[in-house]
Structure 1
Amino acid sequence: MAAWLLLLVVSTAGCERTAASAGKIRHPTAENILPDTELADVVRLEGRPGGELRSFAERLARARLVLTLGTLEGAPSSVFGAVEDVDAHAPGRFAVLDSRYNEIRVFDANGTFVESFGRPGRGPNEFLAPEALESHGPDRFIVADRNAQVKVLERTRAGMQQSVTIQLQFTPEDLCVLGNQIVVQGPMSGRMLHLYSTDGEHLRSLGEGYRSANPLVGNQLSDGRAACATEAGTIVAMLRYLPYVRGYGADGTLRWTSRLADFRTIGIEEGVEDDGRPYVLIGAGAGEYDQVEVLHALDEGLVILQTARHTAESDRERREYAELRTYVLSARTGNGVYVGNTLPRVLDVAGRRIYTGTNDPFPQVRVYELPSADAAS
């Protein structure tokens, strides 16, 4: 999950607008803001719900670091270029998607290197700008590539080989697997979630994207994250720059919407220059702002959500973020609770192990272990 990028960009946050700039529109617009009366929950930093949510949140807050991978120099298998995603695809195994080296590396539970596959390029078994990794069984990987493709790789006698290529009409931002359906997040025709069979057939699109009369603005502001809560039969999604979390059925039914109360939206301005050129400015008057960084579903019907707080200083220093806030939500109801701000990006959870990634100050995978449910009670 790459840091946010300026869009459409005729202008950047450091550029000055002339007084004569006309037709300014500030985003998010009123039609994209929901009253709290329509929400399942308003999740606050100080909220203290009980039950399953609070119990898991307390365990998550007490997770301890048990393994760290990634060095500044050393063996090639131990030096990452950019940790993009992690997937614990089989017992005692986890795979790391490296978006700088355009490859997948597999390690055992102790962090010993097992194998790697993939290389830079546009052809079979190659990645141009890999964005997300999911497994579908122990011997099948699904990769979203920002060159508008989803690639399915399967183990054969000759090793990992690409078996399916899904050509997209949009840039994928995230993906997850719901049963035998691949869910890809990205803007297309006003929808932000697109379901495909594992053979590559487009099944349906669902989930309303950002509402705007300008299609380019609507598409760009419909980037976000998605998580597939298989046990709850729910696809949880969040647009990158808005505080709303939504739960959908696979048929497209909107089941619930919740809001993060402490989410600060970034200033976004749309307008027309004196010479008639359109512009969109992300970061207009920015100070502190948030964006969704992680959505990850757990087997228990829960979802881990993380938002990145950015400041002028963290952006100036090109840090990943100033603070990463972690929440836990119910995929069934949309109720949520704040956990804390100490965990790195949570990229997968398998059993009691939490696989996280960071690229600051250099790329690492950090594995944490949850206390047992009995120990936490």
Structure 2
Amino acid sequence: MIKANSCYFIILLILLISCKGGDEEERGRIIHPKEEFFPSTKPYVSITDDNSNFSQSEATEYFPRLKSAKRAIKIGVEKGEREETFGEIKGVVSDSLGNVFILDAQHNKVRVFNKKGAYLFSFGGSGSGPGEFMSPADIDIGKDGRIYIADRYNAIKIFEPKDSGFEYLTTIKIHLVPDAFCILRDRLFIRGIGLDKADLDSTDFKIIHTYSADTGEYLYSFGDPYNSPNTMILKQLSDGTVACNEATETVVSTFDMMPYVFGYTVNGTLSWAAKIENFSQRPIIQGTDNSVSLKNTGSNFDSINSFISIAKSNWFLVQVVERPARRDVQFNQIRFRSYLVSSEDGSGGFLSSDLPILLFANRERMFANDLLNSSYPSVVIYNYD
């Protein structure tokens, strides 16, 4: 699923990390990202804004539908009933009945609404006990209708549908802090920096870790990080998200601050790599004391905000966020570019600069975070024409 904390992370990153300029290389500092530390990109497919490399006719169905999607329902209010007042929206999924599940990280709950936006019930709670969350990061739904929640306290918590709502089923303990995850077949693909536990002697970090959704058993890890010998830099630049496409059984991973997209088989073999050509990377400076800071280039820079599989299709939506390279960034200065990417080979094309911040999409609707348009957290549902 999408890494839904990205919008908040972007602003926090700008506020918390200092900006520096000058000839850093001459001062003995290292400027990242460096090509030598990139994961292998194979011969990559170019994703261009003029769509010159994008010729798949199947995409013609989605271009007009996504661009013409109409705002239909808003869930969330500034003041009102507790059930409709959100704190921090981390993710959204929708089931086969059209019910909407919204993960609220501030209140550590999942709020459930019907397809018309009427509140139904909630589940979860704050704490470390069964069915409770300490720091929920992502949400997904399995084919069996079970809801899976990634908790940054090294856990995936599972809830199953009951007549009266959802009931806690079990917890899968994992060996890393999860940033995002997705479900494919009977496996959980969890995005985060961790060691390959299948190789007891390994000291190599991987970015995708596979667990059985049924038994909770660890299976294998794959995907190379930004492989700097400095562990702090490695972890900083290796942050990203993961998404699964059932139609082609493809697991796709991205890096927040780099323009590459990687498509893997279910078993972790790299199938293709793609690069978003219109992408302005902001340099990260590694100081002589191993401190980390962002270089102030005076120009806008990009990062990948989300990567979403369109349910029951071969397509992904990727959103790139562009913002000024300074501390005092206002929401109205942030821009999003959306691309459509094939799960089969990574080919893709520019879609729009007008789509909202996307959280989830299927063949009927897309669900967006209304963060840039509202003074309070809310989810807006768009219907396709």
- TM score, norm. by length of structure 1: 0.88
The answer as to 2:27 corresponding to 1:47 is no
Residue aligning to 2:253: 237
Q: What is the aligned counterpart of 1:310 among 314, 318, 323? A: 323
Aligned match of 2:135: 129
- What does the per-residue CA deviation read over 1:121-177, in whole Å, with 9 as the maximum and x for residues that have no partner? 222211122111001136411111222222112235785333232223322111111
The answer on 1:193 being equivalent to 2:198 is no
The alpha-carbon distance between structure 1 residues 37 and 181, as it changes in their structure 2 partners (threshold 3 A), is closer
Instruction: Give the partner amino acid of 1:90.
Output: S
| C-alpha distance in 2 between matches for 1:327 and 1:92 | 25
Q: What amino acid is aligned across from residue 132 of structure 1 in structure 2?
A: D
Shift of the 180–316 alpha-carbon distance from structure 1 to 2, 3 Å rule, reads same
Does 2:274 align with 1:258?
A: yes
Q: CA deviation at 1:337?
A: 0.7
| Conserved 8 A contact 1:128-1:146 | yes
Q: Percent identity?
A: 26
RMSD: 2.8
Q: Which amino acid aligns with 1:148?
A: N
Is residue 2:87 matched to residue 1:81? yes
Aligned partner of 2:9 in structure 1 is: 4
Q: Which amino acid aligns with 1:28?
A: P
8 A Cα contact 2:130 2:170, kept in partner: no
TM-score normalized by structure 2?
A: 0.86
- CA displacement at 1:300 relative to structure 2: 1.3
Q: Could you tell me which residue of structure 2 aligns to residue 169 of structure 1?
A: 175
Residues 102-139 of structure 1: CA deviation (Å, up to 9, x unaligned): 11000001100000011122222111221110011364
User: Which amino acid in the other structure matches residue 116 of structure 2?
Assistant: N
| Pair 1:363 & 2:377 matched | yes
Contact map agreement 2:158 2:171 (CA 8 A) in 1: yes
| Residue matched to 1:324 | 336
1:102–1:64 Cα change, 3 Å? same
1:89, CA displacement in angstroms?
2.1
Distance 1:174 1:283, change over 3 A: farther
Partner of 1:374: none
- Cα shift at 1:59: 1.7
Query: Residues of 2 paired with 1:247 and 1:320: CA distance?
Result: 33
Question: C-alpha distance in 2, partners of 1:308/1:20?
Answer: 28
Which runs of 5 or more structure 2 residues have no equivalent in the other structure? Answer: 196-204
Pair 1:8–1:139, CA change in 2 (3 A): closer
Structure number having the greater strand percentage: 1
Give the direction of change, closer, same or farther, for the CA distance of 1:19–1:116 in structure 2 (3 Å limit).
closer
Q: Give distance in 1, aligned partners of 2:61 and 2:302.
A: 26
In structure 2, relative to structure 1, the CA distance for the partners of 1:20 and 1:231 (3 Å cut) is: closer
**1:211 aligns to 2:189 (yes or no):** no
1:339 equivalent in structure 2:
351
Matching residue's letter, 2:357: R
Change (3 A) 1:193 1:355: same
Q: 1:19 to 1:28 in 2, by over 3 A?
A: closer
Deviates more, 1:45-54 or 1:255-264: 45-54
> How big is the shift at 1:90?
3.1
**Which residue does 2:36 correspond to in 1?**
31
Equivalent pairs, count? 364
